[in-house]
Amino acid sequence: MGLKESLAVILEIRAGAGGEESALFAATLAGMYRRFATARGWSFSLVSESKSDQGGSKEAIFEIHGAGVLDDLRYEVGVHRIQRVPATEKQGRIHTSTASVAVLPLVETTGVVLNPAELEITFSRSGGAGGQNVNKVETAVRALHKPSGIVVRCQSERSQGRNKEKALAILASKLHEQSQSARANATADERRRQIGTADRSEKIRTYNLVHDRVTDHRIKKSWHQAEKILAGGLDRVIAALRVAEKSD
């Protein structure tokens, strides 16, 4: 992987098992990565987001630029699980929900040739949850690569042209991953490998807020101060994963 690829990634977070709680957890993870990125001095920008009724994230896609971004965030790929008592839970029961994280390197579009005949580009209006801040101009872009079925949406920019440019860059990254893997359905397979089914049993890490503990199941190590970790304090977790990887 070249240097330019390692300096930018696409981070995808999707709600999994647990209904509305999983969407709220996905939004919490997005906030964690945003604060972690800020502490690292990386740029962190929203590409597209689908909000839940209570303000969570059904799906959120971000673009992150910075030195070492892929080297750090590759440890975050997989299903994350949270155990907590929701604010709406009157009987004090612990709820378990999941969200999945995928990380793809962002590559330059010059490295991948996109055939216009294989693309379907559509436009729509951008807007926030509940129809607020609806843009009267169709600036949001949906790019479909028909041969692979890969779909990319971008609504973060104010102009249709910039959203289209960013959507095609992300699409190029996904197609680059596909070509690099030497498998016909590589991107879909890779995302399934990363995301799994978002079932509670397919987890890489559990954030147990009831016992103030975060456990990474890959290295069987736990840390206290769960809220601090969810506030962006991932350094010690990633450091431990890096040490464990080197010792294998």
If one compares 69 and 136, the residue with the highest pLDDT of the two is 69
Please tell me the predicted confidence (pLDDT) of residue 199. Answer: 56
- 101 and 12 in a common domain: yes
CATH number of the domain enclosing 176: 3.30.160.20
- 83 and 42 in a common domain: yes
Number of domains composing the chain: 2
Q: Can you give the three-state secondary structure of the chain, one letter per residue?
A: CCHHHHCEEEEEEEECCCCHHHHHHHHHHHHHHHHHHHHHCCEEEEEEEEECCCCCEEEEEEEEECCCHHHHHHHHCEEEEEEECCCCCCCCCCEEEEEEEEEEECCCHHHCCCCHHHEEEEEECCCCHHHCCCCCCCCEEEEEECCCCEEEEECCCCCHHHHHHHHHHHHHHHHHHHHHHCCCCHHHHHHHHHHCCCCCCCCCEEEECCCCEEEECCCCEEEECHHHHHCCCCHHHHHHHHHHHHHC
Q: What is the pLDDT of residues 79-96, one digit of tens each?
A: 999 999 987 777 778 999
Please give the residue range of the domain that contains residue 215. 3-107+195-247
Range from 26-30, 93-97, 99-103, 135-139 carrying the lowest mean pLDDT:
135-139
pTM: 0.75
If one compares 137 and 210, the residue with the highest pLDDT of the two is 210
CATH number of the domain enclosing 241: 3.30.70.1660
Range from 56-60, 62-66, 97-101, 129-133 carrying the lowest mean pLDDT:
129-133
- 54 and 31 in a common domain: yes
pLDDT exceeds cutoff 60 at 1: no
The last residue of one of the domains, among 150, 167, 187, is 187
pLDDT exceeds cutoff 70 at 21: yes
